[in-house]
Structure 1
Amino acid sequence: MANQAGNRGTLSECPGRFAVTRIERDEPPAARPTRYHREIARSVITHNRSPDLHFDSSINPYRGCEHGCIYCFARPNHAYVDLSPGQDFESEIFCKDNAAEVLRDALRKPGYRCRPLVIGTATDPYQPVERERRITREILQVLSDCAHPFSLITKSALVLRDLDLIAPMARNGRASVAVSVTTLDNVLKNQLEPRATAGRERVRVVRELARAGVPVTVLVAPLIPFINDHELEDIVEQVAAAGARSAGYVVLRLPHELGALWEQWLQEHYPDRAGRVMATLRELHGGAAYDSRWFHRHQGKGPWASLLSQRFRNACQRHGLAPREGFELDVSGFRPPGLEGQMSLWGD
């Protein structure tokens, strides 16, 4: 299945670090359509032991993301399937169509321990193909049916489609949503994240979620020195007025192939400040473009990191936002799927 071509975050065909094949394409990069591939998942819950993350279990319904965000730290993952972290990442999308079924099987296993699941930690669960594929909605239906707590991370207004599932779970302390707001400037948005929802529309999403009683965190991410960091205070003020309860931020991360892709983008769009941007990023990461160590990778270290932290803390205090630590979600009501009817056999 394919979708029409359009704006892309990058036109680079840079090979992945494990590349063993090279594909010669007839069409120019700008004309490439988006192709969707059905992926039969054997498992959908991913676990991590990272001490600087507030969650340990997550689900990503899609691999690759058509939003085309040039800064996406998940781009290098396409190298594992011998595809480019450049344009392949945003035009070759893998859809885990059986995710709900696999999730249901996982939740009913005797040894399953209920803990909040975070949906969309790598790629957006509400990217454009979700309108037709509805994989995220099917996952939410499974979780809602068995009162399993969940959080969503997205930058898409499509999340509002599923308020009928999210809001009742939120009212029972079992759901929250994190909305990423990178910029309120539409010109910059179209350069950084060409197929994503506009920034001011994301503020509306925060407002609609909050009105429905859903706890909302806003992620000002990524913060990029001399590109969007000047918007930090304005974003915090606007999302607080819209009803967000907490906020967090992440400094631009450039793992693996993403470093070269980012520098290409920077030279194309902001050649006048490219040197200053990269020098500041290296200052944040101890002389390298990126430091992947825990407790370093998200905010960086040094004077610039301290300045950003102070600005962010002051803005949140001024507007009554709590620091992002993850909402406590209720796990006590969890009922394994498929057991509802069986329980009555033992109840008399």
Structure 2
Amino acid sequence: MLKTKLALLIGCLSFGVNAASFETVTLGSKGGIQDGNLTAFMLKSEQDDNYVMLDAGSVVNGLIVSEQKGAFEDVQVPADSKYTKVGYLLKERVKGYLISHAHLDHVAGMIISSPDDSHKPIYGLSATNEALMNNYFNWSAWPNFGNEGLGFKLSKYTYTDLPEFQWQEVKGTSMQVMAMPLAHSGGQSTAFMLKDKVGDVFVYFGDTGPDAVEKSDALSKVWSTLAPFVKQDKLKGIVIEVSFTNQTPDKALFGHLTPNWLLKELTALETLAGKGSLNDLDVVISHIKYSLKKGEDPQTVIKRQLDEANKLGVKFHFPAQGDALSF
């Protein structure tokens, strides 16, 4: 069950309440045009103190906002460190980037912060890493901070290609990761499943369209992979995108989800895992597109549409930038 830090503390002091398995900090909650608040989540297992970044649309600005909101109040910067808390977190506590795909709103924060970042792996499917080295770290868009690609290699980042549907170590943390391909408007994105030492899992979805619109079976394969963890009560939470309201026609989705499509896809997971198996599952909604048009905030509409049609018993959450959540 999702808890704030205060609720988590109270819960852990109560009988019959399990401690959390994972913690996320929302460095960026939006998709699209709201620079400074673009998709990025920090994740760590409660079994250790180090984080991995789940996409990186906003990094330093997200760390600043998160610190100001108290998300890192328990983090102590060593007395001999020369860095601020934001600097210490970026350089010492974030141990790598999991990049779902190389669209700019998912990587801009990493690119901009790279001159002052520490050496880290970039984990992604091979197509994602190739796009990063060819389109950004190429001495044209930006210096080559990678260990492969064009021109002189500064080797700040080490490209680490992830095989599909296989567990791999996330160095510097107690977690393992499995990369699962997604379909995104004719291109490829990624869902990352993170597993801790006791076998609990958390899943982060990059941008994805529904199988029926994408003419793909990518989400179907993800649900088949997750179903055993749901049956064993090991799936602790999901971050998944809903970019648009139900008023958006399928032809204008461009590889994204609406409330109706998300609920149809989650129903496919429930069908595999058993009736009622998603009851109380925490589902964090990400990548809501900021709108320049007058009228109701798209997030308000999306929340209402999800709540009204939710027959699965899942718990939808809409974190703002800087919010820390435990699962």
Q: Which has the higher contact order (CA 8 A, sep 6+)?
A: 2
TM-score w.r.t. length of structure 2: 0.40
Q: Rg bigger for which structure?
A: 1
**What TM-score comes out, normalization by structure 1 length?**
0.38
